[in-house]
Amino acid sequence: MLSGHLTYLIEAQEPDDLRRLAEHLPDEWIERVVWAAGAASIRRRRLPAEQVVWLVIALAMYRHWSISEVLDSLDLALPNEAAPFVSKSAAAQARQRIGEAPLAWLFEQTARAWTTQDAAHHAFKGLSLWAMDSTTLRTPDSPANREHFGAQGYASGKVASYPQVRAVTLTAIPTHPVADINFGRYDTNAMVYAKSLLPQIPEDSLTVFDKGFLAAEILCGLTMGARNRHFLIPAKSTTCWEVIAGTADDATVRMRVSQQARKKCSALSEFWNARAIRTFDARGRERVLLTSLGERRRFKPADIVACYERRWQIETSFREIKQSMLGSELTLCSRTVEGVYQEIWGALIAYNLIRREIASAAWEANLEPTISFVRALHTIHHEMMWAAVTPAYAKLPACLQRLRERLKALPNGKRPGRACERVVKSRPKRYTVRYLKQDLN
């Protein structure tokens, strides 16, 4: 009886806007995830668990809308003539009922499926391309969030105004979807989160790291853990090595593993080798790239340098999530720990959905997937609202085709001759600073 009820909910009364995205996010996944998490709705609700999953994803896309606006505008609640509107409290309670586990499982399933498709389309000399980097997110300053996540501490003894979440992501470089993530307390070192992501990196791959991850435990753990997994990382100014072969511009070097690292990981030997390639950036500053790609004929220095330059493109994924999708808000919305986790998983699924649609449109047009994320997000906004008011006889293929035709018409690639240097800018103050007279004297 319960199985029949779920089938009725999904097949007979699923809002049209959900059918719009069902090509990438099949109904079977939604049904399976709520069953696996024990969150399936037994009694008939306006917002059963399947619809709440879509609600969390939609809230990430429509950041500046309230829950009520998202429910009403996208027609997410099941129809009920006696109660045409869903109250905010009912929506909040529905989110609490499902928790964060269904969204976490759904992210893992979708990310694995979508990034596997990307790896088949884009490769670097037979190797799939990945990038690993870290970021932080602020949460509302509630006692629960501050106790669970912690916050940044300063040398002066002060603590940051808002609790912070530290995250390390594994991103597919060609199309920029987030393939995997580990996040939690701010005071947990990023290396700890990075180690847990290493088993998720596939074989026959090249992972580009930020130089903060330069450690034998991480890099040797990557190459030893599976067949044909390689790394590429810039050396620090303090990195020491011994040249054992090659030239000054392309050498094989040997580095010593610290005793502390060997105590943590007994599989590490006393030394580890890498290939060191010397290059210069746009300002003429010297930079050395360390890599495990030792075949010089197959992997030439120019190719490796060009591959590393692509690594900076994934920095935009953080910007697109935190600024474009989340509206540059100072903090996330949820004041509870479980709500923060649920919100982050929903935002990641929404981001990957948009990236998936951008890639699909680019493949159909035989173009690189460099369509503007902001334009694509706005286009999907319009299409989801259009689908919500379209009669039930409108079919998914026609909706998707209309969306992709609009995406393919968007400008592709960067403007020629445009250069944007990477700089760190201070956050503008919301209010002017008031100085006391004694400070001016």
| 45 within some domain | yes
Whole-model pTM? Answer: 0.81
State whether 148 and 258 are in the same domain: yes
- Of residues 24 and 71, which shows the higher confidence score? 71
| 339 within some domain | no
80 has pLDDT over 90: no
Rounded distance, CA 82 to CA 349, Å? 33
Instruction: Return the CA Rg of the chain.
Output: 24
Tally of domains within the chain: 2
* Residue where the block lists tokens 């990957």: 352
How does pLDDT run across 119-149, given as a tens digit for each residue? 656 678 889 999 999 999 999 999 999 999 9
Per this entry, what is the length of the chain?
441
State whether 223 and 192 are in the same domain: yes
How does pLDDT run across 381-431, given as a tens digit for each residue? 877 776 666 654 444 456 556 666 766 666 665 555 556 566 666 665 555
Kindly report the CA angle at 75 between 74 and 79, in degrees rounded to 5? 175
| 328 within some domain | no
- At residue 262, the pLDDT reads 87
Q: What's the mean per-residue pLDDT of the chain?
A: 80
- Of residues 144 and 16, which shows the higher confidence score? 144
State whether 77 and 111 are in the same domain: no
State whether 161 and 309 are in the same domain: yes
- At residue 136, the pLDDT reads 94
39 has pLDDT over 60: no
State whether 147 and 292 are in the same domain: yes
State whether 83 and 224 are in the same domain: no
Long-range Cβ contacts of 280-289 (<8 Å, 24+ apart): 282/419, 282/421, 287/234, 287/235, 288/234, 288/235, 288/239, 289/232, 289/233, 289/234, 289/235
| 11 within some domain | yes
Question: What single string gives the DSSP state of each residue in 276-316?
Answer: EEEEE-TTS-EEEEEES---TTTS-HHHHHHHHHHHGGGHH
State whether 80 and 114 are in the same domain: no
- Of residues 426 and 54, which shows the higher confidence score? 54
State whether 147 and 278 are in the same domain: yes
State whether 112 and 78 are in the same domain: no
| 424 within some domain | no
State whether 117 and 259 are in the same domain: yes
- At residue 410, the pLDDT reads 63
| 434 within some domain | no
State whether 213 and 136 are in the same domain: yes
- At residue 83, the pLDDT reads 58
- At residue 72, the pLDDT reads 80
State whether 30 and 151 are in the same domain: no
- Of residues 432 and 11, which shows the higher confidence score? 432
Choice among 223-227, 245-249, 346-350 with the minimum mean pLDDT: 223-227
Domain span at 407: 1-98+372-412
Which CATH number do you get for residue 207?
3.90.350.10
How does pLDDT run across 332-388, given as a tens digit for each residue? 999 999 999 999 999 999 999 899 888 888 887 777 787 888 888 888 887 777 666
